[in-house]
Chain A
Amino acid sequence: MNERFSTTLEGTADAAARSTPPAVARRLRGLSDRAIAWIFISPTIILLLAINIFPLCWAIYLSFTNYRANRPNAEVKGVGLRNFERVLTDGDTWLAMQATAHFVFWTIVLQTLIGFTLAYLIDRKFRGHAFWTTVILIPMMLSPAVVGNFWRFLYQPQIGLFNYIVSFFTGVEPSSFQMLGDVTLAPWAIIIVDTWMWTPYVMLICLAGLRSIPDYIYEAAEVDRASPWRQFWSITIPMALPFIMLAVLFRGIENFKMFDMVVLLTGGGPGSTTELASITLKREAFESWRTGRASAFAIILFVAVFGLANIYVKALNRVKQR
């Protein structure tokens, strides 16, 4: 279609193009649409190949070697699949995966429940809802690292605000529990901060889902005398589901690779109770300097995220068609 257009234009185009220097104009017009397309797209592709794909291939190569980044001059030997074998049979890494699972699961559950409820309430369109929606959105735009760091202060026993508020409502002595120092509480401490930050994200997408449901469906249900409860379960939830899925997948991907907020809040401790996959990876790569093994672990995480990303894009296209 465009191809055809530009060829038929050749004759009529000259007159108006005279305003630009003829050499430049001819050179530009000489470019076919296909050439322009590639000129426009290739810088992006080249940048991504250089900064993303080339390093990725390098990481794949390294994952089959015993390379250590702190000894660049040592002989590099191929070790076959041994790095993968080690990572996948290592109990500590497995524990990190379980810590990640706990974190991902509960953040998704809490964020979806709270986020959907909020969206449902905001969709009542009470007076001032636009303003309060904007207020609610603020936490998710902030830097997780900088805010996570400050939460460490909020969680301090005695001097921190969090314990004090909890004690105000429950009567528990504020210094009787340590959110970051206790092995059972620390995993929940990071879940609370993540939920605080990212519930707005889930809410926003659920809100879009709720607003995409046309009114006439509810009107038809009303005519059929369906109860509000029934309307909720047979119209609202199914119609909003693709959007909820989108939010869940994206939060799943993001939290699977969570690093910044948690590393500043707990640093993986106490013990290794909040040591998520990315933190283990960072330790392997930049503290133990087992680059080969860390690369293998990185590839494993990458494949996992890539698999989810495939499903995410499918969900994205589904929502787009609405």
Chain B
Amino acid sequence: MSTTAHSVVAPGRLSKSIAGAVVIIYALVTMIPLAWILLTSLKSPPDSISYPPKVIFEPTAEGYCNLFTTRSRQTDEYIESLGPPRGICDEITRKRNMVIVGESNYWPRFMNSLIIGFGSTVLAVFLGTLAAYGFSRFRVPLADDLLFFILSTRMMPPIAVAIPIYLMYRELGLSDTAMGMILLYTAVNVSLAVWLLKGFIDEIPREYEEAAMIDGYSRMQAFFKVVLPQATTGIAATAIFCLIFAWNEYAFAVLLTSGEAQTAPPFIPTIIGEGGQDWPAVAAGTTIFLVPILVFTILLRKQLLRGITFGAVRK
């Protein structure tokens, strides 16, 4: 920002520093819970529930080990008879008088989140791009009403929609299948995709396609060879927003999936250890689950505003 051009309204030095200080303090305070998640994931279970809460502790991989394994308690003699531990998790587990008996469900649930997230994103963006182009370039009868209808589906309370969906999926055999969840998330995401992509496509000058069509392209060719390459950035931003929604969704997932197709959000709260919730394992699961979104948030910061206002606000 050049201060000369805005000299009349440019805030003074002092007010800038105060503003900066307040904002930075707020930012640091909001980061405390996230920092605590990361710290807890590195604690041992006794450290995690110590009173007062420990800020300084000896980091351990126990939370992560517990997250990915199932364990059972064994006698000392049995553990001694086993031979040298295989890997760090084995060692940590044996110190607690336990042995690893198998893998936990976290990884399959995480994979479900990935499959359902990416599947629904690809579908929603594909359908959304077509529809957005249709709304942007052609005179569609009742376009305003259709666009409102599309947006309003996004605003429905998930539980209200879940009741009939639950019955419908039960009839069709789609309950607890990845396919059912992908379809459902696609339907929810397509509304955001249409609104966002319509804004992006509106910004591509019509003249480009018209020039291409004068050069002998058909409308379809112009769409694929001229409009799509121009809209790549917009499509990428839309895709990440759709992915984040599907990744974070809980209400549908908890009601419509229970095993096979369960995603990570309903699973993480059910991670329990001996005598209650195993907080380091929960924190470890949460950390792994949040990292992709943190990366996307930083990548997306420029498009964020557009995405969360359905494309209405641009800056």
Contacts and interface: CB of A to CB of B under 8 A. Distances in A.
Interface of A: 2, 5-6, 9, 12-17, 20, 25, 28-29, 31, 33-34, 36-41, 43-45, 47-48, 50-56, 58-59, 62, 69, 114, 118, 121-122, 124-129, 132-147, 149-151, 153-154, 158-161, 164-165, 174, 196, 200-201, 204-205, 207-208, 211-212, 215, 218-219, 222, 243, 246, 250, 253, 256-257, 259-260, 264, 277-278, 281-282, 285-286, 291, 294-295, 298-299, 301-302, 305-306, 308-310, 312-313, 316-317, 319-320
Nearest to B143: A41
B187 A51 contact: yes
B157 A143 contact: no
Interface string B117-158: 000000000011011011101111000001011111101111
A36 B222 CA distance: 12
A125 B218 contact: no
B266 A222 contact: no
B20 A128 contact: yes
Contact of A150 (B183, B283, B294): B283
A243 to B, nearest CB: 7
A43 B190 CA distance: 11
B279 interface: yes
Contact of B221 (A28, A62, A208): A28
A306 B146 contact: no
A34 B110 CA distance: 43
B235 to A, nearest CB: 15
Interface of B: 1, 6, 8-9, 11, 15-17, 19-20, 22-24, 26-27, 30-34, 36-37, 40, 48-53, 127-128, 130-131, 133-135, 137-140, 146, 148-153, 155-168, 170, 183-184, 186-187, 190-191, 194, 206, 210, 213-221, 244, 247-251, 254-255, 264-266, 268-269, 277, 279, 282-283, 286, 289-290, 293-294, 296-298, 301, 304-305, 308-310, 312-315
Contacts of A122: 19, 23
If over half of A's interface residues share one DSSP class (helix, strand or loop), that class is named, otherwise mixed; here it is helix
Which of the listed residues B34, B146, B216 has the most CB atoms from chain A within 10 Å of its own CB?
A: B216
Contacts of A135: 27, 30-31
Contacts of A215: 6, 8-9
Contacts of A126: 16-17, 19-20, 23
If over half of B's interface residues share one DSSP class (helix, strand or loop), that class is named, otherwise mixed; here it is helix
Contact of A144 (B50, B51, B248): B248
B17 to A, nearest CB: 7
Contacts of A146: 248, 250, 264-265, 268-269, 286, 289-290
A129 B297 contact: no
B16 A205 contact: no
Which of the listed residues B133, B219, B310 has the most CB atoms from chain A within 10 Å of its own CB?
A: B219
Nearest to A223: B8
Contacts of A9: 213-214
Contact of A43 (B37, B131, B146, B155): B131
Given A47-B127, A48-B187, A150-B282, A141 B244 contact: yes
B297 A138 contact: yes
Given A2-B137, A44-B127, A136-B30, A56 B161 contact: yes
A12 B15 contact: no
Contact of A44 (B15, B128, B293): B128
A298 B160 contact: yes
Contacts of A56: 156, 161, 164
A124 B304 CA distance: 21
A306 B155 contact: yes
20 contacts: A12-B216, A40-B134, A48-B149, A51-B184, A128-B20, A129-B20, A132-B20, A141-B293, A143-B249, A146-B289, A149-B282, A151-B33, A159-B48, A205-B305, A219-B9, A246-B313, A253-B155, A257-B159, A281-B157, A282-B255
Nearest to A134: B301
B161 A52 contact: yes
Given A259-B159, A281-B160, A13 B218 contact: yes
A211 B305 CA distance: 13
Given A55-B161, A149-B282, A159-B51, A138 B156 contact: no
Given A41-B130, A201-B308, A142 B255 contact: no
Contact of A302 (B53, B157, B255, B268): B157
Contacts of B298: 134
Contact of B168 (A5, A58, A277): A58
Contacts of B164: 54-56, 58-59, 62, 295
Contacts of B1: 125
Contacts of A143: 247-250, 265, 289-290, 293
Given A2-B137, A146-B250, 8 more contacts: A43-B130, A44-B127, A55-B161, A127-B20, A146-B289, A159-B49, A264-B269, A286-B166
B30 A295 contact: no
Given A40-B131, A208-B315, A48 B190 contact: yes
A37 B153 contact: no
Contacts of B26: 114, 118, 136
Contacts of A277: 157
A160 B194 CA distance: 43
Nearest to A253: B155
